[in-house]
Structure 1
Amino acid sequence: MSLILTSSNKALDAYLRRIDSDDSTSPVELQAIRDQADEHVNAVTGVTANADSLTPLGKAIVQLLAEADAMVEGMQRVAIEARRAKLLPDRREELKEAIEHQIGYVVAGYQSSIQRL
């Protein structure tokens, strides 16, 4: 079971392909993509993850950045706890599939909102 992300942004898509090239995302790669994502948001909006924004848009962006971090951290916690629980291989695959459905929900949310801007 795997989930492959592609982007219409050529630079982001090329970066994602480099990360995917070994079928594993290292902590360094994960931090780098987070930093790049935050830099792009800052370049476009002037907002950083730890900013106290005065505008409603800025507040919404800060909240989204925090929620993105929380989702990644949540997935990391699920993976750690699944390993600790010593799930059988078939249960691990079922868990991966369930989480992929959640990621599908997030992508569909992007398509129904941000993509339509």
Structure 2
Amino acid sequence: MSLSIVSTDKQLSDLISLAEKVHEGEGASTITTLEFQAIRNEADVEVGKITIEGLSATLADVQKQAAALIESLQKLVVEANIAPGEVTERWLSATLSNFQEKADSLSESLQKLGIAARRNKLGVAILAKDLQSKEREEARMAIVTSLKKAVEYQLAYVVFGYKTSVERL
């Protein structure tokens, strides 16, 4: 089983393409720790670009939940490899339950971000009132694009976290 990700953002798409090398005939991902960290670093940069009150705090929560989800994935793999004989059904159930809670939290944070974006009218309210409607729409679309890009980077980080941990089992 494998998971893939595609982005319409050229820069992110290029990072994904570079990282998703496949061993010939094996079908196994070869995403390295460095490539994973590069996605993580870019995700942080994109989140930092959103400075609209209400959106930036909610996006930071998405970032925090994505990191917690990756941490739970890594814990699952590390603990399973350290003591494979001690991996019981009870342990696996508890660990997967923890992962599910983190996934739920990430999903809830994304929903809250969508609500915050709609409440902020995607940044239109913060723009100068003297801008013409075309300029306002262009400014709004720039904010929407930045927000989507920041979220896509966070989700790519989550998928790459899976690829560098559980997918390798």
Q: Would the TM-score normalized by the shorter structure come out above 0.5?
A: yes
Residue 20 of structure 2 corresponds to residue 14 of structure 1: no
Amino acid at match of 1:70: A
Question: What is the CA–CA distance in structure 1 between the aligned matches of 2:80 and 2:13, rounded to whole Å?
Answer: 30
TM-score (norm 1): 0.61
Is there any run of 5+ residues in structure 1 with no aligned partner, and where? 48-54, 88-97
1:40 corresponds, among 46, 62, 65, to: 46
Q: Greater Rg, structure 1 or structure 2?
A: 2
Q: Aligned partners of 1:73, 1:58: CA distance in 2, in Å?
A: 22
Code of the residue aligned with 1:86 in structure 2: it is P
Structure 2 stretches of 5 or more lacking a match?
23-28, 86-95, 119-169
Distance 2:3 2:31 in 1: 12
| TM-score, structure 2 normalization | 0.45
Match of 1:25 among 21, 27, 31: 31
Deviation at 1:68, TM superposition (A): 1.0
Percent same amino acid at aligned positions?
Answer: 26
CA distance in 2, matches of 1:34, 1:17: 15
Secondary structure of the residue aligned to 2:5 is coil
**1:1-117 alignment, distance < 5 Å:** 1-22=1-22, 23-43=29-49, 45-46=50-51, 55-86=53-84
Q: CA RMSD in A?
A: 3.8
